[in-house]
């Protein structure tokens, strides 16, 4: 059986936002809490592409940023290669940093505009002692530029001198510089022009296969998710509502939200009953006591508003719905 490289268990993340001074005085209301990630549990097997899917604001990026420990988790365990990294401080995390890397959503904001791209790729190699000296780091940097289809002479340029697609290639090179085992790709092509999205995605998937990487992939585009994933988790209002093998999820979704999400995707061939997705996602400030999807669910029954369904095993997948 394939080993788990990552196990996320009961992960909780929230943000406290203070109310404006006058509102606090007049309403005596307490500060607000944005419940972004609610007891999220899943595992990623070595070598697979595991995709996290859901509408905007459902907590995908926050989950990703918490897993790579860019933000501290409030609760839960993040077991990477057998060790719980949830409670480690920045110094204790240092040995893990080269092995878990992240490719960010926005290649325009994620590269330092004042740093030449060659230096940017060499920096983690020197910092983590992966390259013994600048000469070795330089050789590895040129190898990485070649891998992403750029020339060595472009190493002396700044990020603004590259196109969006090239910048995201540079983001990929920087993430791969330390030879990670696990890469979290947060909507890596969504900020790019449609004409270059496929190129960058293909490059990423080629490199993934060549280097034997495991990937946690976050995306909006369900046709892409269907194309590249081994397993998929569907997220709604910070909860995972369904998780399973790619074909099970796409061919026979069990959770009403998964059905609605797939039915709403214009690019997918529909093999299931059409469930319309109406209304808005509830506010993450006040989580419903019952099922998170109850306000929009066409199949809602009496207990749905009061009792939150737990994520349970059902025929090789996990589903959180009272009807399943
Ligand atoms: N630093 C922060 N401070 C306060 N609230 C935040 C912060 N980061 C995220 N949030 C809130 O947490 C919730 C989840 O946001 P997140 O960015 O994780 O969603 P997402 O699924 O990645 O959305 P998108 O698909 O638009 O990228 C949102 O309600 C968002 O406003
Ligand atoms: S638990 Fe109820 S409201 Fe929630 S998805 Fe299932 S049927 Fe719909
Ligand atoms: Mg996001």
Distance CA 259, CA 252 (A): 8
Q: Is the CB of 13 under 6 A from ligand 1?
A: no
Structure token pair of residue 304: 């749905």
**Mean predicted confidence (pLDDT) in 243-250:** 96
- Span 192-201, average pLDDT: 86
- Residue with the larger pLDDT of the pair 107 and 262: 262
Distance, CA 60 to ligand 2 centroid (Å)? 21
Give the residue whose CA is nearest to atom 3 of ligand 2: 294
How much is the pLDDT for 269? 65
Mean model confidence pLDDT for the chain: 91
Q: Is 36 in the pocket of ligand 1 (CB under 6 A)?
A: yes
Find out whether the beta carbon of 61 lies less than 6 Å from any atom of ligand 1.
yes
Report helix, strand and coil shares of the chain as percent, to nearest 5.
35, 25, 40
pLDDT of 272 higher than 80 = no
Q: What domains does the chain contain, in order, with CATH numbers?
A: 4-229 (3.40.50.300), 242-324 (no CATH)
Would you state the pLDDT for residue 191?
82
Ligand 1 proximity of 62 Cβ (cutoff 6 Å): yes
Collapsing DSSP to helix, strand or coil, 134 comes out as helix
Residue 235, classed as helix, strand or coil, is strand
pTM of the predicted model, to two decimals?
Answer: 0.93
Q: Can you tell me the distance from the alpha carbon of 323 to that of 314, in angstroms, rounded to the nearest whole number?
A: 11
For the chain, strand residue ranges (E) read: 4-17, 32-45, 49-53, 75-80, 83-84, 100-103, 182-186, 214-219, 231-236, 239-245, 312-314, 317-319
Task: Between 322 and 17, name the one with better pLDDT.
Answer: 322
Query: Residue 195 has what pLDDT?
Result: 83
**Higher-scoring residue by pLDDT: 277, 96:** 96
pLDDT tens, position by position, 165-191 = 999 999 999 999 999 999 999 998 888
Mean pLDDT across 239-250:
96
pLDDT at 273 over 60: no
Least confident of 91-100, 138-147, 239-248, 267-276: 267-276
Task: Render pLDDT for 121-165 as a digit per residue (tens, 0 to 9).
Answer: 999 999 999 999 999 999 999 999 999 999 999 999 999 999 989
**Of 24-38, 84-98, 243-257, minimum mean pLDDT range:** 24-38
Determine what percent of the chain is predicted with pLDDT higher than 70: 95
Would strands 239-245 and 4-17 be described as parallel, antiparallel, or unpaired? unpaired
Q: Evaluate if residue 246 carries a pLDDT over 90.
A: yes
| The predicted structure's pLDDT at residue 279 | 74
76-115 confidence digits (pLDDT tens): 999 999 999 999 999 999 999 999 999 998 877 888 999 9
Q: Is the pLDDT of residue 237 over 80?
A: yes
Q: Do β-strands 312-314 and 182-186 pair in parallel, antiparallel, or remain unpaired?
A: unpaired
Q: What pLDDT sits at residue 29?
A: 65
Q: Is the pLDDT of residue 243 over 60?
A: yes
Ligand 2 probe mutation, 276, 297, 303, 311, most atoms within 8 A of CB: 297
């Amino acid at each position: 059986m394939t080993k788990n490289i990552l196990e996320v268990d009961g992960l909780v993340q929230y943000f406290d936002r203070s109310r404006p001074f006058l509102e606090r005085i007049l309403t005596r209301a307490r500060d607000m809490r944005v419940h972004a990630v609610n007891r999220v549990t899943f595992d990623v097997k070595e070598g697979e592409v595991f995709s996290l899917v859901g509408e905007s604001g459902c907590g995908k990026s926050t989950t990703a940023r918490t897993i790579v420990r860019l933000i501290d988790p409030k609760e839960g365990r993040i077991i990477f290669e057998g060790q719980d990294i949830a409670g480690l401080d920045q110094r204790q995390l240092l040995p893990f940093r080269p092995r878990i890397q992240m490719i960010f959503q926005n290649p325009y904001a994620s590269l330092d505009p004042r740093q030449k791209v060659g230096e940017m790729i060499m920096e983690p190699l020197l910092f983590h002692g992966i390259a013994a000296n600048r000469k070795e780091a330089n050789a590895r940097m040129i190898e990485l530029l070649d891998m992403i289809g750029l020339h060595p002479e472009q190493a002396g340029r700044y990020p603004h001198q590259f196109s969006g697609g090239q910048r995201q290639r540079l983001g990929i090179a920087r993430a791969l510089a330390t030879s990670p085992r696990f890469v979290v790709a947060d909507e890596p092509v969504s900020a790019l022009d449609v004409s270059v999205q496929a190129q960058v995605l293909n490059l990423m998937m080629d490199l993934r296969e060549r280097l034997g990487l495991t990937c946690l992939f976050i995306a909006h585009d369900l046709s892409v998710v269907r194309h590249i994933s081994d397993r998929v988790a569907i997220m709604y209002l910070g909860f995972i509502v369904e998780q399973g093998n790619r074909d099970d999820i796409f061919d026979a979704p069990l959770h009403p939200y998964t059905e609605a999400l797939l039915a709403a995707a214009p690019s997918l061939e529909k093999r299931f009953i059409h469930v319309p997705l109406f209304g808005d996602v509830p506010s993450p400030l006040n989580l419903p006591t019952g099922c998170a999807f109850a306000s929009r669910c066409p199949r809602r029954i009496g207990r749905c508003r009061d009792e939150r369904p737990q994520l349970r095993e059902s025929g090789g997948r996990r589903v959180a719905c009272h009807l399943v």
